[in-house]
Amino acid sequence: MILESAELRVIELPLKFRFETSFGVQTKRSILLLTLRSGGLEGYGEGVMERLPLYREETLAGAEQLLREVFLPRVLGRDIPNPEALEAILKPFRGNRMAKAVLEMAYHDLWARSLGQPLWALLGGVRDRVPVGVSLGIQESVEKTVEAVERNLEAGYLRIKLKIKPGWDVVPLRAVREAFPEATLTVDANSAYQLADSKVFAALDELGLDYIEQPLAYDDLHDHARLQARMRTPLCLDESVLSAADARKGLESGAGRVINLKPARVGGHLESRRIHAVALASGAPMWCGGMLEAGVGRAHNIHAATLEAYSKPGDVSSASRYWETDIVNEPLEAVCGEMPVPEGPGIGVTLNRAFVERISLSKQELRP
Ligand code: OSB
Ligand code: MG
């Protein structure tokens, strides 16, 4: 498959809600959107890096520069037969997995379309719908938190994840647990705590949480292992896992017992499949995370989550929760806590071009 041309855009999309986490507040997304073209077909990839390196180190500006000046010039005009061949071209460059994932995932979409196959089938998926939960940002009050949980349980979401930060953890969680004794509840700290916060962890350990996501530093598996050793509640690794090697070390060392896998965090679908193989072999459950993706990233995530070990509900909730208008034409809506996999070749969605044009901050055409 010869990659004939590419279009790299930065688009900006207002969120329907204010999303507060331990690392900041988001009210809109700035998104790197890549289109790859070959033989009259297009494939799409969406970046999850933000303008500021608050989640991991990568930034939108850094990723855009790498794609424009380094990655795309090395692939445009070349015959790249499969994802492995693309990966070999990107391999010498260290890190920058979110930037690589934009290209790797767009390539996967285009490749699947060129073969007339849905992406999930090429990845080895085993289901045509995926279980979904919802990730709720830090709310204004305990009362509003309980209300938000109630609304989302009524909407059918199978698991509620609440963002926490020091000073906003045990009190809201106790109230939610009291109001919903049977709900599947989890928390996500986005690396805001330290081992010394033992009182908070001891209290959270009493609340019957399904797991505690990324409590400690984003690059510290060692302290996660120490914390996990003294807790009953499983720890779930998000920021700490960038590769299959990280997943193996995290699970072997007992740093966590669950993995939140975001294909766009780890370099794309190939590395995601390797992480999936590690999780499957060790019996650790996984689920597909999210980064407030628009329709292209969300569709990729849904396809990824069709693999066997993604047994827990993922953060791939309905697009209509996030946006008045999505960037794809197909509605990505959960039904009774399950997200149907978009049908058709590739990721199964098409771009709403007029809308994408309207929300573009920049657009670059790239040719060999
Ligand atoms: O840690 O999972 C996270 C959003 C942005 C950055 C990090 C995270 C999240 C979410 C939202 O939890 C998940 C979603 O609804 O896409
Ligand atoms: Mg997380």
For residue 224, the model assigns a pLDDT of 98
For residue 359, the model assigns a pLDDT of 98
Q: Measured in angstroms, how far is the CA atom of residue 249 from the centroid of ligand 1?
A: 23
Any idea how long the chain is?
368
- Number of other CB atoms surrounding residue 344 within 10 Å: 15
- Number of other CB atoms surrounding residue 202 within 10 Å: 12
Pair 78, 3: CB distance under 8 Å: yes
Pair 123, 269: CB distance under 8 Å: yes
Burial 289-311 (b: 16+ CB within 10 A, else e): bbbbbbbbbbbbbbbbbbbebbe
Q: Output helix, strand, coil percentages for the chain, rounded to the nearest 5.
A: 35, 25, 40
- Which helix (H) or strand (E) element contains residue 209? none
Nearest to 123 by CA among 9, 233, 288, 4: 288
Ligand with smallest separation from the Cα of 214: 2
AA identity, residue 136:
L
For residue 179, the model assigns a pLDDT of 98
User: Which of 239, 287, 292, 298 maximizes ligand 1 atoms within 8 Å of its Cβ, making it the mutation to test the pocket?
Assistant: 292
- Which amino acid residue places its CA nearest to atom 4 of ligand 1? 291
Read off the tokens for 27: 């009210």
Atom of ligand 1 at shortest range from CA of 190? 1
d(CA 89, CA 71): 8
User: Which of 135, 162, 188, 239 maximizes ligand 1 atoms within 8 Å of its Cβ, making it the mutation to test the pocket?
Assistant: 135
Task: Give me the active site residues, please.
Answer: 163, 262
Q: What's the gap between Cα 322 and its chain centre?
A: 14
- Which helix (H) or strand (E) element contains residue 200? helix 198-204
Pair 255, 237: CB distance under 8 Å: yes
Which residues make beta-bridge pairs with 135? 161
d(CA 289, CA 300): 11
Ligand 1 neighbours, Cβ below 6 Å, are 55, 135, 188, 190, 238, 289-292, 315, 317
DSSP state of 329: S
For residue 98, the model assigns a pLDDT of 98
CATH topology of domain 5-116+351-366: Enolase-like; domain 1 (3.30.390)
Pair 331, 103: CB distance under 8 Å: no
Nearest to 129 by CA among 314, 268, 271: 314
The distance between the two most distant Cα atoms of the chain, rounded to a whole number of Å, is 60
- Complex ipTM tops 0.95: yes
CA neighbours within 13 Å on the CB side: how many for 81? 0
Would you kindly state where each structural domain of the chain is located, as residue ranges?
A: 5-116+351-366, 121-340
Domain spanning 121-340, CATH class? alpha beta
Q: What's the gap between Cα 173 and its chain centre?
A: 24
For residue 80, the model assigns a pLDDT of 98
d(CA 198, CA 66): 41
Q: Measured in angstroms, how far is the CA atom of residue 115 from the centroid of ligand 1?
A: 32
Ranges in the chain, pLDDT < 50: none
- Phi, psi for 210 (deg, rounded to 5): -70, -35
d(CA 162, CA 146): 11
Q: Measured in angstroms, how far is the CA atom of residue 109 from the centroid of ligand 2?
A: 25
- Phi, psi for 74 (deg, rounded to 5): -85, -10
- Which amino acid residue places its CA nearest to atom 13 of ligand 1? 290
Q: Measured in angstroms, how far is the CA atom of residue 37 from the centroid of ligand 2?
A: 33
d(CA 259, CA 250): 9
Pair 227, 200: CB distance under 8 Å: no
Q: Measured in angstroms, how far is the CA atom of residue 114 from the centroid of ligand 2?
A: 34
Q: Is 312 left (phi over 0), alpha (psi -120 to 50) or beta?
A: beta
- Which amino acid residue places its CA nearest to atom 1 of ligand 1? 190
Atom of ligand 1 at shortest range from CA of 321? 15
Nearest to 104 by CA among 125, 121, 126, 89: 89
